[in-house]
Amino acid sequence: MVKHPAAILLGTLLFLGTVFAVIRGNLFRGDASGSGPAPASTNITKSAGKDSNHPGSAERVRRYCANPYEVTCENPTRTTTDPTGRVDLQISGEVRALRVLRKILTSHADWNSKQVEDQLVTEIYTEKRVKRIESAYRWVKAQLHTVIERQDASVFSVEEKQAILSRVDRVELNLPPPASNYADAADVFTKNSIYYERTETGQMRLRVGGAYLLNISSWYNLVFSLAHEFSHAIDPCEMAADAVVPTAYRELISCFVRTGWVDGARNTCGDNEQVSEVFADWMAAEVVSSSLGNSEKDYSGEQRVQAAVNSVRDLCEEAVSLDVLSTQNHQTPAIRIGKMFGRNPLVRKSMGCENTPAGDYCAFSPRK
Ligand SMILES: [Zn+2]
């Protein structure tokens, strides 16, 4: 019996949806609501007054400073809200995307797969959502430039800086419409992830799953996720593809091992390495923290905690990006959130936490 192409598509997606629901991607979010290019221009609910008016606020800041992992991951099924949006871990984006798909198929039983995909893209990748991702992409790219450009000549030579920045500039944001942009990976329409890839022809691109778009809401979560994926373009193992690995990266990797972020036996590129994922987490924290430190001067302590929590809230599960490399190679949530993001000096400064002791955090340092 010949199956209708659209039925085959639905069958495949339903199967994938079941798989995703079981292994759970690392991005589960609520409906999109914010739309601004940066936190400062999103709809911010200002706090009613200073922290002293919110007795719980100072206590929450104190708890965050003492144990960022515990505060980020407590009440795992509760929706967490920050001034720009929320992170909803209850309903997976895949389920939402599959509901959209099922509705299209029910209403248009005579459509072929191309028509179904086109409609799916129209409903999920709306102009408003696409614009929001595009503005986050531009913001993250600019922040990556800033982080690299501010390193002086003792860290990167002119050639190394150029090599890094040219890779940053080569990364394209590859979004539908048209649906044919994902012709080689139609299941991405219902995926929860953002991912980076380098194609066989050397194209470097970021792709965004439709389920992610349906569930995204917090700007902080969006920029952390995008910054993490973007940073893979310049992680030590990806840079090796161009045979130009900046010397200062070696020092950085040694620091990753000293701080316990990277297992000493897994510090060289190749199967089983942890270097690239830790680098991407570390760089994403550098990017997001520059926002936490500067843009939200009007936030109360509680709102700052919530912004920090939502940045990495979806990393609480011991889960599993759908990108195979990440699945195998990233660190535990306690390390990613508690010892990396939660120890970032700017994240801590934004909340008035005491400094991370030198030696517990890593930064670019002069090459040797
Ligand atoms: Zn990654």
Distance 112 CA to ligand 1 centre (A): 35
The CA distance from 237 to 268, in Å, is 8
| 194-238 tens-digit pLDDT | 899 999 999 999 999 998 888 767 999 999 999 999 999 999 999
Tell me which residue of 44, 26, 143 sits closest to 87, measured CA to CA.
26
The CA distance from 83 to 43, in Å, is 7
* pLDDT computed for residue 320 by the predictor: 41
The three-class DSSP label of residue 207 is strand
Ion ligand 1: residues, Cβ under 5 Å: 277, 280, 326
Distance 325 CA to ligand 1 centre (A): 7
Distance 4 CA to ligand 1 centre (A): 37
Q: What is the mean pLDDT of the chain?
A: 82
What is the ipTM score, two decimals? 1.00
Domains (range + CATH), the chain:
5-351 (3.40.390)
* pLDDT computed for residue 106 by the predictor: 96
Tell me which residue of 192, 204, 191, 203 sits closest to 235, measured CA to CA.
204
Helix spans in the chain (H): 5-23, 55-66, 68-73, 93-107, 113-124, 127-149, 158-170, 210-215, 219-231, 236-239, 247-258, 275-294, 301-312, 324-329, 333, 345-351
Helix (H) or strand (E) holding 80: strand 80-82
Distance 202 CA to ligand 1 centre (A): 19
Q: For residues 308-328, give the mean pLDDT.
A: 67
- pLDDT tops 70 at residue 42: no
Helix (H) or strand (E) holding 85: strand 85-87
